[in-house]
């Protein structure tokens, strides 16, 4: 890859996407970070995304408003659905219908306009095995579709969807991020953080994160509600 | 197909999508019309979409705001790019990067929430041969991706992307719509209509429409600026 080529990096403000951003920069890209205000309950994540983007000195950080919450159908956007405190089998209620498809589609539009050919996304098929849109076969199909549906693809200068975390354990992700200098105290992973950004410590996402730090034998800089 | 199953129909307010809506209803679907406010210059189309949705007595009509214009890159959303008055070779400047990918992605999310399995879109590979995201191979790839990335697809109840106009001439589309009772005076196709909804008569879209009516040997109910 030519150093300095542009990449769009999906940045949620969580641990995974902060790591992905560091990887995209390490790969030599000029990074264009893209976050979404999609009616998520955990809007506190967007502040984390801003901090992470700033710390990584990205070329540009856009927060794109898209009200997926108007459709409902997920515990992450619909306050009438309770966020589960333990893992369930099958597709969890925190799945947001077609979320990654929508996010990648918008990223694709931006990438085409700015001449980026790489789109980085922090999906993980190990921890999020219940989410259909975190699987390698979905990502491969999206890339195929993207190259049939865009000027770039048709003109023989294809788009690539980069998923450097897709097969990594949380511990592996954390070790890699720390090696690249990611400051995980800037990130937040909780589905139900309070207004001041304290993590609940109980939701799926908090438990995955805590387990990852434990397995990586590293201190978790997350501030939990019960730390107060 | 079971009568009364739900379908999401992308509705721009133009001639093609009005015809598609009539076809979806004829196919026996309960229709959920979806329009986008995406920063298009021709926002007058949205009024046409409202009229068409009302005339077709759809179950619900949503206008989804999504500011693709913030990215620029198209004559349809960027007022600094001139709308061409004649056809060009290759991909035209009116192409909006990844537009159909984004629209179909949002439609997919809504379809999943309301339990629809059919998504109708009025793409046409004959007249819009320069748009990569109007081609059958793009649509097929989107459908494959959609069924890998959604709960519905994974659980064996697949989504279908319906493109009843994809290989029809404009004249054929018009004849079919008239047979189904579409009132084309409610629609508008112009890329550069004035504030009162009068078509310019000169842009690609106007010329295609006029040619279609001429070939179908039908009167065009469009109100052009020069009719005044």
- Please list every residue in chain B whose beta carbon sits closer than 8 Å to the beta carbon of residue A157: none
- Please list every residue in chain B whose beta carbon sits closer than 8 Å to the beta carbon of residue A144: 141, 144-145
For residues B166 and B128, the answer to whether their CB atoms sit within 8 Å is no
Q: Looking at the predicted structure, is the pLDDT value of residue B33 above 90?
A: yes
Q: Name the residue among B67, B137, B153 with its Cβ closest to that of A148.
A: B137
Which chain B residue has the Cα nearest residue A66? B66
Element (H, E) at A175: helix A170-179
Q: Looking at the predicted structure, is the pLDDT value of residue A217 above 70?
A: yes
In a domain, A10, yes or no: yes
In a domain, A154, yes or no: yes
> What mean pLDDT do residues A10-34 have?
96
Q: How far apart are CA B123 and CA B52, in angstroms?
A: 18
pLDDT the model gives residue A228: 47
In a domain, B23, yes or no: yes
Which of B150, B148, B110 is closest to A69 using CA atoms?
B110
In a domain, A213, yes or no: yes
In a domain, B136, yes or no: yes
pLDDT the model gives residue A68: 80
Dump pLDDT digits (tens) for B96-137.
788 899 999 999 999 998 999 999 999 998 876 678 899 999
Domain range holding A116?
A: 6-227
Dump pLDDT digits (tens) for A81-118.
565 555 555 566 666 788 899 999 999 999 998 999 99
Which pTM was predicted?
Answer: 0.89
For residues A21 and A115, the answer to whether their CB atoms sit within 8 Å is no
Mutation target vs A (from B63, B91, B97; most A CBs, 10 A cutoff): B97
In a domain, B22, yes or no: yes
In a domain, A1, yes or no: no
φ, ψ for residue A35 (rounded to 5)? -115, 160
Q: Looking at the predicted structure, is the pLDDT value of residue B3 above 70?
A: no
Mutation target vs A (from B123, B143, B149, B159; most A CBs, 10 A cutoff): B149
- What is the number of structural domains in chain A? 1
CATH label of the domain that carries residue A163:
3.40.50.620
pLDDT the model gives residue A38: 82
The ipTM assigned to this model is 0.88
CA separation, residue B94 to residues B78, B130, B136 (Å): 10, 10, 20
Residue B45 binned pLDDT confidence (cut-offs 50, 70, 90) = confident
- Please list every residue in chain A whose beta carbon sits closer than 8 Å to the beta carbon of residue B98: 105-106, 108-109, 112, 146, 149-150
Which of A142, A133, A141, A143 is closest to A166 using CA atoms?
A133
Q: Give DSSP secondary structure letters for B130-193.
A: T-GGGSHHHHHHHHHHHHHHSHHHHTT---EEE-TTTT--HHHHHHHHHHTT--GGG----TT-
Q: What percent of chain A has pLDDT over 70?
A: 84
| Residue A134, min C-alpha distance to chain B (Å) | 8
In a domain, B1, yes or no: no
Q: Looking at the predicted structure, is the pLDDT value of residue A77 above 90?
A: no
Element (H, E) at A92: none
Q: Return the beta strands (E) in chain A as ranges.
A: 6-10, 30-37, 60-65, 118-120, 160-162
Residue A90's CB is within 10 A of a number of other CB atoms, namely: 9
> What mean pLDDT do residues A176-188 have?
95
- The CA angle B39-A161-A69, to the nearest 5 degrees, is 45
Dump pLDDT digits (tens) for B129-168.
678 899 999 999 999 999 999 888 888 899 999 999 999 9
């Amino acid at each position: 890859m030519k150093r300095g080529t542009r990449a769009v990096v999906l940045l949620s403000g969580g641990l995974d996407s902060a790591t992905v951003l560091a990887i995209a920069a390490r790969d030599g890209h000029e990074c264009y970070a893209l976050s979404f205000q999609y009616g998520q309950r955990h809007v506190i994540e967007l502040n984390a995304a801003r901090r992470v983007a700033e710390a990584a000195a990205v070329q540009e950080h856009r927060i794109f408003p898209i009200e997926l919450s108007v459709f409902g159908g997920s515990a992450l956007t619909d306050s009438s659905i309770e966020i589960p405190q333990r893992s369930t089998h099958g597709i969890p209620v925190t799945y947001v219908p077609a979320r990654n498809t929508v996010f990648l589609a918008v990223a694709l539009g931006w990438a085409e306009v700015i001449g980026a050919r790489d789109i980085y996304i922090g999906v993980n098929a190990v921890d999020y095995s219940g989410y259909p849109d975190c699987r390698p076969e979905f990502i491969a199909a999206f890339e195929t579709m993207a190259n049939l549906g865009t000027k770039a693809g048709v003109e023989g200068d294809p788009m690539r969807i980069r998923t450097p975390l897709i097969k990594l354990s949380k511990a592996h992700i954390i070790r890699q991020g720390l090696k690249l200098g990611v400051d995980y105290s800037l990130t937040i992973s909780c589905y139900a953080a309070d207004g001041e950004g304290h993590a609940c410590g109980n939701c799926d996402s908090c438990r995955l994160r805590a387990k990852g730090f434990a397995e990586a034998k590293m201190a978790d800089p997350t501030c939990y509600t019960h730390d107060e």
